[in-house]
Every structure is written in C-alpha cells, then in structure tokens.
Amino acid sequence: MNTHALTTLVVIGAVTTCGCGDHDANADARGPKAVRVVAVESSSSVGSTTYSAVITPNAQVDLVFRAQGYVVGIRQTKDADGHSRVLEPGAPIERGVTLARVRSGDYQAVVDKAHGARDESTAGVTEAEAGLAEAQAALTQAESDFERISILWAQESVTKPAYDGAKAKRDATRAKVDAATAAIAAAKQRAAAAAAQAHEAEIALDDTELRAPFDGILVERHVDIGTLVSPAMSAFTIADLRLVKARFSVPDTALRRVRAGQVLSVSIDAFADEPFLGHVLSVAPAADLKARSFEVTVTIDNPALKLRSGMIASIRVAGEGTDRPLLRIPIDALVHDPVREQYLVYAIEQKEGATVAKAIRVTPGPLIGNQVSILKGLTQGQRLVGSGANLLQPGDAVKEIQ
C-alpha cells in the first residue's frame, strides 16, 4: 500500500481497530447492527497533494524538583475576578519565575553547617601560614648562628659540642619549616573541600525552588500545597507554543517536492478561514522502517498563541497531484486489522433476504482533512458503512439509519 499516510493515521487516532478475531456467536441473536452508510466520493487532485498533521509544541518538558520535601508554595495568578489562585493549565509562564518551592529549613541548616566548616578550615589555613612564618624566622636565626659557629669552628675557636649543637638546631628548624609547609597544603585542601561542600549545600538550597526554563504555557500541574515531592516526580509540564511544529510523512516519490526552508500552505481545522504559512524545518534522512515513509517537520510562527497542541492541520505540497479522479471516504469508515496488517472497509450487500456487511480490503493514501484517499479497492459511488464500521465482523446483519 501507499504507506505515507499510515503514520499520520495512527497519530491522529482516526483509524479504528478491527476486531477481526473470534466472531460473537450471539451476534445474530441481538438483531441487525445500526450503521450509517456513505458513498465513495471522487475529486480531482491537480497540481498538489494535501497531507494531514497534528500540531505539537516547539518544546515541551516535564519539570521536576531536585530537592525532596513538602511543597509549601505554588505561584499565584489572578483570575478574571481579581482573586488569587494557584497556577492552572493554560496559564502563561515567564522564563525564570519560581513555579513552586519545597520546605527549605533542613537545607538551610546544612548550608549553615557547611559555612561553619568552611570558615573553620579557612582559619586553619591562616593558622598554618602563621606557623610557617614562625618556623621560617627560626630557621633564618638558626642558619645565621650555624654560619657564625662554622667560622669559629674553622678557626678552632669553639668546641665540637658547640658546633654540633648549632648544626642540629639548624636541621631541626628546617624540618619545622617543611612540616609547616605541608600543614599549609593540607589546610588548603581541607578548606577547598569545605568550600565545595558549602557550594553543594547552597545548590541544594537553591533547588528547593523550581523555576521555568523558558517562556511558555502551563500544560499540567501535578502538585499542590503539602505534596511530598521527590526527584523522580513530575511537578509541572510546560510547553513553548510561540513556535509550533507539524509533522507529516511522504513517500519516497514525493521527496523531490520537499526541501528544508520551503514555504508550505497550512490550513488549521479550528481556523478554517485563516491561512497559515509553514517552513520546512527538516526532512528525515531515512524512512520509517514500518511505514516506509519519510517524516517532514514544518514550523509555524504562533506569536498570538492561537494554535494549540493537538490541533489538526492540513499541509499542501505542490507538484504532486494528478489529473485522475481521487476516491475519498470518511476516516471512520476505514478499519485497521492489526493481525493481518491490512486496512478494510465494509460494504453492504443483500444476502438471503438480509442486509449484511461485506469486508473489502483497500489501499489507503494521503489524508485530506477528515477524509482519507483510497488508492485501490473501491469505485466511485460504492456504498460503505461510514459509522460503526469498527464494531462489525464480515457477514454481520446491519440496518441502515439516517
């Protein structure tokens, strides 16, 4: 089948699933099933092909606390009556604002303790440096005394014990200088570790407040005052809708018609009379292995935030159409059989004096609004079950309703 519409069909959720397994033995006992019947329509497709897509945010993220604790504050907004209330879905969010905060007393205590340890270690460095200065002064005096004694020893003016005593004192003060130098290095390491621990404690304290990473719209709020949150728990979901995206899939034969930067005409079902322009952001370098089609991403400017996530869009790609008639049916008439990986529609026929459903295998093509084109399996004017098709089995008795 022409599979470039398959992915979009699944995303939109318009294709219903066939229960083509066991047939209910009591179906006939319940009488005919009520269905609505539609006729296969035909339209020309000259110069372009329309694809259906779903609007998605430019970015959407779940925000979580890094700190664990009880929520004690949630950002307030004013409603139309001027009353303050906590943030609700749809509220605009500015980058950097605090959305919620957890109880910070425990984290502040850790910060205070870390600051005390940091100050103590800094004092230790100062003390070690003072010890080094004292040891260096003693060494200077000892070296001066030893130099003087050495001269007298060479002149045989002092005794051997006096010479040995001066030498031992010099060596001892040198050892004290070395020890004081090592003590400074150790004190500085302790000070650096204490400063790092204080910094970590400050970060943990700062993480008791959850801030918005960008301007956006609040999609969901998962916490209330008193909620116990943890790092694995989503607190808010926000989306950037100033720029939205629409994704659709095209077959390899249409790739030459789509390129990055191309401007495409976009129609939004919710704003049928208002045209939009989209720019092709990217074309997938490889086909989806299941659908065998290539995903195209289109961006649409949305400064007024009119377009919302989940809206249905129709995107027209020029140069793909043909002059032959294009058969179309409502999306609800198309049934997906996941067991056999095929698509079906149900025609109605007379059999032994009863009106029954007859399954017909079809090959769907691109989506066109809320209809799907049919490439193979149907003829113009053929009468099909348009509503209730997903509840049928081949041979079920049906009753047409208006």
pLDDT mean values, one per 10 residues, the chain (402 residues)? 41 45 48 86 68 91 93 88 86 93 94 94 93 93 92 88 92 93 93 94 94 93 94 92 92 85 90 90 87 88 91 81 69 85 88 87 75 84 86 87 78
For residue 245, list its beta bridge partners: 56, 299
* Domain 48-60+240-318 coded CATH 2.40.30.170: yes
What value does the mean pLDDT of the chain take?
A: 85
Q: Could you tell me the pTM of the whole model?
A: 0.59
User: What residue has token string 């600051």?
Assistant: 115
What's the rounded Cα separation, in Å, for the pair 367 and 359? 21
Give the model's pLDDT for residue 222.
94
Quote the pLDDT of residue 171: 93
Q: Which residue has the tokens 């957890």?
A: 102
pLDDT of residue 325: 66
Q: What is the pLDDT of residue 287?
A: 84
Distance CA 392, CA 359 (A): 9
Contact 366, 79 (CB under 8 A): no
Q: What is the CATH topology of the domain spanning 3-44+324-400?
A: 2.40.420
Q: Provide the 8-state DSSP code for 257.
A: G
The pLDDT value recorded for residue 9 is: 44
Contacts of 205 (CB under 8 A, 6+ apart): 104, 107, 108, 110, 111
Would you state the structure tokens that stand for residue 304, as one six-digit string? Answer: 């007024």
Q: Which residues contact 90 (CB under 8 A, 6 or more apart)?
A: 217, 218
Strand 398-400 to 33-39 pairing: parallel
> Collapsing DSSP states into helix, strand and coil, what is residue 374?
strand
Q: Show Cβ contacts of residue 61 under 8 Å, excluding neighbours closer than 6 positions.
A: 213, 237, 238
CA dist 28 and 182 (Å) reads 95
Q: What residue type is 133 in one-letter code?
A: A
